[in-house]
Structure 1
Amino acid sequence: MSGIHPFRVLRAKPLWITNGVITGLLALLFTVFYVGANIDPVDHMKKLPVGLVNADNGAGAGGKQVNLGVQITESIKKSTASGDEIDWKVMGEKKVKEELGEGKLYGALVVPAGFTASTFALTGTATTGTPARPTLTVLTNQSAGSLGSSLARSATTRAAESASLQVGKELAARTGQAKLPAAARVLLADPAAVTVEDGHPLAPRSGLGLTAFYYALVLVVCGMLSANVISGQVDHALGYTHNDMGPLRRHRPLIRATRVQTLAIGSTLMVGLSLLMGTLVAVGAVGIMGMAASHLPLLWLYSVCAIAVSGIGALALLAAFGTPGMLVVTLVFIGMAVPTAGATTPIEALPGFYRFLAEFEPLRQITGGVRSILYYDAQADAGLGRGWVMMAAGLAAAALFGFGVTGWYDRRGLHRIPAEARPEKTAALA
């Protein structure tokens, strides 16, 4: 025994410096990733996809056929008022419903049928139709993300109100000096009523479009945390580490294993336990908590695969980096992943660096697949296809990286117990 009091280690500068650097870096990185990504989504918004539909069939006025819907959609499309914040996509009613139902649009602005006739009827110059205040319809899509839907709703409402004022100017020009009641003139100045409708209604107990994100987050966290548990338990089973259970410490006889073999054992265990975890996640979310979900067999299979891939990826990082690996895992699967998942803040409203991360961050890919299963009838084009492809690519990358690095360690003789510390070496020296 050294006779040195344990608390004297607090005098060691390296202990403070090393831990200070690591914890300080973590605090800074998490602040940058979480706060930086969400601090000003409106300012960073670029090309948020929003549908623009003209269902108006026009009307005769003054001996000419006029279609105000065409004028409105062309004006909005060419307008520079929103800069490049909104990507207006002109399409038909059927197409807009399809893309809202696939999560490809955050909202839409619809000029309904009869808009021109209803508008000119207010002036008494229309040849057909009955006087009725025209409407412009704003469609929302909460399933694509509540913040994204809110941003789209705000932009489309502004566009609709601006279009109404522009139509009002045209009506004023048409009526000229005609004597109209004051109330009628006020109405003609801003003739269109703006109505808001849900373009893709969600089932009850869908968390306002956030259950897919939280469910996917659970899958990633299960994979990440179970990798840490499995890594430690495999090391204990092989006799490389102690296992402390409260006041008890257990140590098994050493079973020599290469780093590649150790990673293979952990990965096999992860695949088997993913069946259990995926089942319990689905049962807990749907069976116990009552989350709205369809395609339950597919949801279960996707859950199992997502946990397995996340877990094997985490195991590969732990095997490659050792003790610091858990910090790397935390940054990759949580720190960089949550802000770039596209569930809270849309990808189109993130700064460029975060958009780059979103292309390969696992949580975004997994969230897209879960969202497709829960909200979009498991359509491949709605994110499920990309989810499967990116999970397969992630598994391949994790296997190549993990087994490649550990194989290199083994070939270089970088064993987990250095030769000079092995029992037989010590005995030989004695």
Structure 2
Amino acid sequence: MPQPTPPSVLRRPRLWIATGLIAAVVSILFALLYVGGNVNPKGNLRDLPVALVNADSGADAGGRHVNLGEQIVSGIQKAAKGDKSIDWQLVSREEADKRLGRGKVFGALVIPKDFSATVTGLTAPQPPAQGKATPPTLTVLTNQAAGSIGSSMSSQAAQKAAHAASAQLGQELLKQAGAQKTPLPTAAQLKLADPVTVNVADGHPLGSRSAMGLSAFYYALVLVVCGMLGANVVNSQVDTALGYLHTDYGPIRKREPVQHTSRVRTLAIGMALMLGLSLVMGTLVEVATVGILDMDASHLGLLWLYSVATIAVVGIGSLALFAAFGTPGMLLATIVFVAMAVPSSGATVPVQALPGFFRALAEFEPLRQLTEGLRSLLYYGAQADAGLARAWASMGVAFVAALVFGFAVTRVYDRRGLHRIPHPDAGTGAPAPAETSEAAEPTTA
């Protein structure tokens, strides 16, 4: 006797509502996080660290000793009181180089040793044999290794401060020149009005194959994605091996015999497999990026260890979420490791230019810590205080938290009898849901 054709699943409101809600949440969440974190970096800019170096030794002019470098520093600090966007850090040149080489500042404004002497020399009478006076200069140092946008913001702020100082000095020089008996030609007056030359230089040079300071971020993102995808593969393969899922090979469907296993043991199997796969994936990521693509990198052994550890920690954290929340855990892992992590990573837009919510996220979101650690490995000679120590500590905390959370939740599920496939004698005597016949009536999609 022919069986009646069941109604299409597309007629079920529940399917449309559930799928629509998930799609809506994902769409608005990713839009708010990705665009919201980067839509107005200048408006959100607060306390961007920039070094200020005054190496000026001063000069004698008009019977008194003057230090125009101190005058510039005082003017910058006075202006900074009403503008909190830049955190000017007054340091020596040696300390500025150290901070540039550790990613602690995004740039620097350097006042040279002979600055006062060259400025005062512009209005001093020049003997014919001496020729033209040396033009005074200020140097702006950039630091793309700390982030290209942050370095650009630092450079703009430093150049603005330098040109403002030049204009202020120009007014004073014109007054001094006007007091002289011999009037200056128009060309000389124009030169005195803006006397300082501003030079821009790279404060911490990078190799040509460093993606202009973004290779650390892209490498970190690859490691996170590998950890998440690896966890998804491990989760499905373990469930397939235990008989919880079917495996489709084209038109062929295969299913292993069901093995009744506790949730704790299932999670332990997945984590052990994830640790093994991390060795393979971490190795291949480094081979592909450094060996094939010739990405600038040093400390290759430490980079390999860091890559393997990162993939393992992200993968184990994802597996813990899968075990605790089931299918929604995959969406939750995507939100934690990607949706909230990328805009708060400080890799493109610096943390100092993010809204307050994202600054708070940056304190614990893994991608921020991972990127800082990779910057240390790739750009700063693997210095511990350049972000590497914090990255390792964060990974350690995340690893322990994933283990504790995952096994605590699965143990509670097991103790309460919330087995994935309950035994028939567990209470109701009903057959296990996953063991129902595969010969059920077909459903029209």
State if a TM-score over 0.5 links the two structures.
yes
Which residues of 2 match residues 139-150 of structure 1 at below 5 A? 139-150=141-152
Moved more, 174-183 or 408-417: 174-183
How far is the alpha carbon of 1:424 from its aligned partner? 11
Per the alignment, in what secondary structure is the counterpart of residue 313 of structure 1?
A: helix
Aligned residue for 1:249? 253
Matched, 1:162 2:197: no
Residue 211 of structure 2: which of 207, 212, 215 is its match?
A: 207
CA–CA distance in structure 1, aligned partners of residues 119 and 31 of structure 2 = 52
Q: 1:320-399 maps to which residues of 2 (within 5 A)?
A: 320-399=324-403
1:47 corresponds to 2:29: no
The reply to whether residue 314 of structure 1 matches residue 318 of structure 2 is: yes
Counterpart residue number, 1:182: 186
Alignment check: 8 A CA contact 1:205 1:290 kept: yes
Percent identity, please.
56
Tell me: CA distance 1:424–1:233, structure 2 relative to 1, closer, same or farther (3 Å).
farther
The 2-side partners of 1:160 and 1:108 are apart by: 11
Distance in 2 (CA, whole Å) between partners of 1:248 and 1:310 is 33
Unaligned runs of 5+ in 1: none
CA distance in 1, matches of 2:5, 2:322: 33
1:321 Cα deviation from its structure 2 partner = 0.6
Counterpart contact for 2:126–2:133, Cα < 8 Å = no
Quick check: 1:233 aligned with 2:237?
yes
- Within a 5 Å distance, the mapping from 1:97-112 to structure 2 comes to 97-112=97-112
Counterpart of 2:257 in 1: which secondary structure? coil
Q: Deviations over 1:356-398 (max 9, x none)?
A: 1111111111111111000000000111000000000111111
Contact 2:111 2:139 in 1 (8 A): yes
Match of 1:283 among 287, 290, 297: 287
* Over 6 Å off, 4+ runs: 125-130, 421-424
Q: Kindly tell me: are residues 234 and 160 of structure 1, through their superposed partners in 2, closer, same or farther at Cα, counting changes over 3 Å?
A: same
The aligned length equals 427
Aligned position for 1:135: 137
Deviation of 1:427 after TM superposition, in Å, equals 7.4
Alignment match, 1:305:
309
CA 1:271–1:427: 2 relative to 1, 3 Å = closer
Aligned to 1:3: 4
CA distance in 1, matches of 2:379, 2:258: 51
What code does the residue aligned with 1:143 have? A
**Partner of residue 151, structure 1:** 153
User: CA separation of 1:215/1:108 partners in 2, compared to 1, >3 Å: closer, same or farther?
Assistant: same
**CA-to-partner distance for each residue in 1:284-342, whole Å, 9 max, x for gaps?**
00000110100000000000000000000000011111011111011111111111111
- State the secondary structure of the residue aligned to 1:354: helix
SS at match of 1:108: strand
User: Could you say what secondary structure the match of 2:327 adopts?
Assistant: coil
3-state SS in 1 of match to 2:419: coil
**By how many angstroms is 1:173 displaced?**
2.9
- Summarize the Cα distance change of 1:366–1:239 in structure 2 as closer, same or farther, 3 Å threshold: same
Name which of structure 1's ranges 11-20 and 303-312 shifts more when overlaid on structure 2.
Answer: 11-20
Secondary structure of residue in 1 paired with 2:291 = helix
**Structure 2 unaligned blocks of 5 or more:** 433-445
Residue 52 of structure 1: how far off its partner (Å): 0.4
2: CA distance between counterparts of 1:271 and 1:56?
57
Give, as a single letter, the amino acid of the residue that structure 1 aligns with 2:388: L
Q: Counterpart of 1:190 in structure 2: which amino acid?
A: D
Q: 1:59 to 1:185 in 2, by over 3 A?
A: same
SS of 2:51's equivalent in the other structure is: strand
Q: Which amino acid is 1:66 matched to? A: V
From the superposition, tell whether residues 82 and 291 of structure 1 become closer, same or farther in structure 2 (CA, over 3 Å).
farther
Cα offset, 1:420, TM superposition? 4.9
Letter in 1 for 2:174: A
Give the Å deviation of 1:176. 3.4
**1:404 CA drift (Å):** 1.1
C-alpha contact (below 8 Å) 1:120/1:126 kept by paired residues = no
Per the alignment, do residues 216 and 2 of structure 1 end up closer, same or farther by CA in structure 2, a change over 3 Å counting?
farther
Give TM-score, length-normalised by structure 1: 0.95
Q: Distance in 1 between matches of 2:125 and 2:304?
A: 61
**C-alpha deviation, 1:72, in angstroms:** 0.4
Distance 2:431 2:178 in 1: 109
Cα deviation, 1:88-122, whole Å, max 9, x if unaligned, reads 00000000001001011111111111011111111
Please state how far the C-alpha of 1:183 moved relative to its aligned partner: 1.2
SS class of match (2:70): helix
For residue 256 of structure 1, give the secondary structure of its aligned residue in structure 2.
coil
Structure 2 counterpart SS, 1:113:
coil
In the TM superposition, what whole-angstrom CA distance separates every residue of 1:397-417 from its partner, at most 9, and x where no partner exists? 111111111111111111101
- Contact 1:59/1:126 (8 A) holds in 2: no
Which amino acid in structure 2 is aligned with residue 418 of structure 1?
Answer: P
Amino acid corresponding to residue 10 of structure 1 in structure 2: L
Distance verdict in 2 for CA 1:427–1:277, change over 3 Å: closer
8 Å CA contact 1:368–1:387 kept in 2: the answer is: yes
Corresponding letter in the other structure for 1:306? T
Give, in whole Å, the separation in 2 of the partners of 1:26 and 1:371.
Answer: 31
Shift of 1:422: 7.7
Alpha-carbon distance change, 335 to 306 in structure 1, aligned in 2, over 3 angstroms = same
Equivalent pair of 2:424/2:431 in contact (CA under 8 Å): no
Residue from 415, 419, 422 that aligns with 2:419: 415
**Cα-Cα RMSD:** 2.1
Local SS of the residue matching 2:37: helix
The alignment status of 1:217 with 2:221, answered yes or no, reads yes
Classify 1:129/1:21 alpha carbon distance in 2 versus 1 (closer, same or farther; 3 Å). Answer: farther
Paired letter, 1:141: N
